[in-house]
């Protein structure tokens, strides 16, 4: 609900949820000839920069192949961890790039969960260390299911190559010094680590101004315009009995900040916030969903939005 612009989810393109879904892509490009594996693929460039991939003919991989191109010195990624990563996807048969997050500098959030990611990406993340560049190859069926992935131009008999840069491990919650809540702010309901709602008892009526304050002031670097940030959040209209949206009960979310990808109140508040912070904000309608509101979320054009946001990472 926080997003003003809804883009296709990378998880939907790359995750396990597409397994066995959809029709076989037309024009299957596989020739079913024998080819090389990762050992014959050249991958150059520094972690965080667009990989330079040189193909030595058609690449085939029946089983999942994993090669650590550059080994980082950060923490080892375990099952259940969330990692901010760049990813490059190539078709081993056509020897063409199918997808990349590098050019737009929009790293994506991956949670190491077999219900969310296919085996290709699980093996590229789990057991690897932060700061690493890892190459993984597998059949299209292993990566995406029997239909391949028509959205990426990968046929059901093709081979998939992924280059994954593990940039940053996302902590479970905010990290910093607790601050006194302002008098205009509602109190949090539920677990302090994962609030379930906002209590507006005694909270003054909104005055039409954008307000924000730190409940926890993080000790990390200040968020910069254009960065991809990872957050947990909860949103509730003033006087509302329950949230209209939240991520604390599920998984964190990621998006670019300061570029119009989310409501204006978020862009104006979170740019400059130290990573590790928990921010509470009151957003007037013109900096939220405007006069039209958001009918699907039960938000009227006159509603002031209150959010609590944990800024977990930025890259």
Task: For 232-242, write each residue's pLDDT tens digit.
Answer: 999 999 999 99
**Of 139, 169, 199, which marks where a domain is finished?**
169
Longest CA–CA span in the chain (Å) reads: 72
Domain residue limits at 59: 10-169
Q: What's the number of domains the chain is made of?
A: 2
Structure tokens at 154: 């990968």
Q: State the Cα–Cα distance between residues 123 and 53, nearest whole angstrom.
A: 20
Same domain, 222 and 114: no
Task: For 174-217, write each residue's pLDDT tens digit.
Answer: 999 999 999 999 999 998 889 999 999 999 999 999 999 999 99
Residue 31 belongs to a domain: yes
- The residue among 63, 48, 39, 26 whose CA lies nearest residue 107 is 48
Same domain, 165 and 182: no
309 falls in which pLDDT band (50, 70, 90)?
very high
Q: State the Cα–Cα distance between residues 91 and 102, nearest whole angstrom.
A: 17
Say yes or no to pLDDT of 28 above 60: no
Q: Residue 168 has what pLDDT?
A: 94
Q: Residue 37 has what pLDDT?
A: 81
Task: For 244-259, write each residue's pLDDT tens digit.
Answer: 999 999 989 999 999 9
In sequence order, what are the residues at sequence separation of 6 or more whose Cβ sits closer than 8 angstroms to the Cβ of residue 162?
87, 88, 89, 90, 120, 121, 124, 135, 136, 137, 143
**Of 169, 204, 234, which marks where a domain is finished?**
169
């Amino acid at each position: 609900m926080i997003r003003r612009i809804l883009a296709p989810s990378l998880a939907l393109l790359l995750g396990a949820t597409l397994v066995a879904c959809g029709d076989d892509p037309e024009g299957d490009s596989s020739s079913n000839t024998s080819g090389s594996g990762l050992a014959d693929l050249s991958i150059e460039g520094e972690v965080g920069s667009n990989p330079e991939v040189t193909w030595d003919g058609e690449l085939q991989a029946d089983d999942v192949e994993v090669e650590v191109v550059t080994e980082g010195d950060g923490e080892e990624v375990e099952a259940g961890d969330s990692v901010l990563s760049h990813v490059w996807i190539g078709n081993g048969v056509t020897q063409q790039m199918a997808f990349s997050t590098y050019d737009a500098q929009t790293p994506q959030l991956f949670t190491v969960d077999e219900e969310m990611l296919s085996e290709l990406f699980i093996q590229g993340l789990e057991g690897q260390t932060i700061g690493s560049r890892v190459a993984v190859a597998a059949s299209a069926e292993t990566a995406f299911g029997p239909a391949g992935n028509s959205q990426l131009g990968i046929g059901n008999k093709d081979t998939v190559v992924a280059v994954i840069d593990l940039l940053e491990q996302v902590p479970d919650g905010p990290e910093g010094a607790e601050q006194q809540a302002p008098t205009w702010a509602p109190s949090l309901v539920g677990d302090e680590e994962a609030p379930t709602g906002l209590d507006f008892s005694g909270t003054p009526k909104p005055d039409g101004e954008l307000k924000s304050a730190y409940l926890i002031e993080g000790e990390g670097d200040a968020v910069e315009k254009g960065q991809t940030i990872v957050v947990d959040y909860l949103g509730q209209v003033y006087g509302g009995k329950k949230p209209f949206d939240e991520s604390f009960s599920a998984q964190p979310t990621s998006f670019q900040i300061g570029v119009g990808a989310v409501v204006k109140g978020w862009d104006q508040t979170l740019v400059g916030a130290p990573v590790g912070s928990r921010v509470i904000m009151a957003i007037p309608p013109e900096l939220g969903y405007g006069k039209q509101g958001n009918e699907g979320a039960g938000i009227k054009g006159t509603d002031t939005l209150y959010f609590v946001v944990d800024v977990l990472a930025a890259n």
